[in-house]
Amino acid sequence: MRRDLKPLQIAKAIAEVIKSKKGYEIKILDLRKISNIADYFVICSADSERQVKAIADEVFDKLAEKGIKCFHTEGFETLNWVLLDYFDVVLHVFRAEARNYYNLEKLWGDAPVISIKND
């Protein structure tokens, strides 16, 4: 991972890419004081499998262009919940139904949340 970019900068860059692909309900969860899994989770919703894939692919491509390596991916087989792991920042792209079911915001309810407004 590029060390000149701080994890919060990467999380916010991911949020901007999500917005460009019409992802919504974008939230950044700050896990630094409650977990060592990652510093931040970025969570968003999408309306279809096609949109989940488009968001995940675009984030992967745009961050790769900046020299930011994705260490692990999951969920491209079903496209209900795609995860991109950037070590300090983990992106979760959900279909709305899956997001409601898994409810990561409740699971990580102690984490401070940064909500990103769609323009």
Q: What is the CATH number of the domain that holds 54?
A: 3.30.460.10
Give the whole-number percent of the chain exceeding pLDDT 70. Answer: 97
Rounded to a whole number, what is the distance in angstroms from the first to the last CA of the chain?
29
The answer to whether residue 89 sits within a structural domain is: yes
Strand order in the sheet with 24-30: 72-74, 81-85, 89-95, 40-46, 24-30, 113-116
The answer to whether residue 79 sits within a structural domain is: yes
Question: With contact defined as beta carbons under 8 Å apart, do 83 and 53 qualify?
Answer: no
Instruction: Give the predicted TM-score (pTM) of the model.
Output: 0.94
Q: What is the pLDDT of residues 28-70, one digit of tens each?
A: 999 999 999 999 999 999 999 999 999 999 999 999 999 999 9
Helix (H, G, I), strand (E, B) or coil at 1: coil
The answer to whether residue 110 sits within a structural domain is: yes
The answer to whether residue 1 sits within a structural domain is: no
Query: Which stretches within 1-119 are classed as H helix?
Result: 7-20, 49-65, 96-102, 104-107
Tally the domains of the chain. Answer: 1
The answer to whether residue 80 sits within a structural domain is: yes
What per-residue confidence (pLDDT) applies to 26?
97
The answer to whether residue 83 sits within a structural domain is: yes
Domain that holds residue 99: 7-116
Per-residue tokens: 44:
């968003």
Partnered with residue 82 across adjacent β-strands are 93
The answer to whether residue 104 sits within a structural domain is: yes
